[in-house]
Amino acid sequence: MNSKDSVSKLSITIDVYGKGRAKGEVFRHLAPITLSSLLRNMPLHGRVVRFKDQFIYFNSGVITGMEKARKSFQKGEIGFLSSNGGLFFFLDKCEVALPINPLGKIVSGLDVLMKAGAGDVITVDIN
């Protein structure tokens, strides 16, 4: 079964303008309300904010509550910060100050996200 046949797992593309494309998977069971809100608003666009070599994020404009939020993330995970609508891509294992809803993981192109700098334009859409 591929990801297009699954109700729980969805494939997404993450384009960093002028740098390349990454692919990811998001899972409904991790944060169903958050993911539904994000999907209704796709494609999502924003400018990259970078925090050292730990993560990048952009403001999605979507506001939802916390769901199964946590503060510890592994390299390649995707998360959503409910307090500001930030869609996070973790470039390394890290602990964050505020709880973030886990959404999924990067399956290819993490190197593209590692090259993304502050102010780069990023677009996230369903495959």
Digitized pLDDT (tens) for each residue of the chain, 127 residues in all: 444 556 789 999 999 999 999 999 999 999 999 999 999 999 999 999 999 999 999 999 998 989 999 999 999 999 999 989 999 999 999 999 999 999 999 999 999 999 999 999 999 999 8
Q: Please give the Cα distance from 7 to 27 (Å, whole number).
A: 9
Q: Which domains does the chain have, with CATH numbers?
A: 9-126 (2.40.100.20)
Q: Can you read off the two tokens belonging to residue 82?
A: 């409910």
Q: What confidence score (pLDDT) does residue 2 get?
A: 47
Share of the chain above pLDDT 70, in %: 95
Q: What confidence score (pLDDT) does residue 6 get?
A: 65
Straight-line distance from the first to the last Cα atom of the chain, in angstroms, rounded to the nearest whole number: 16
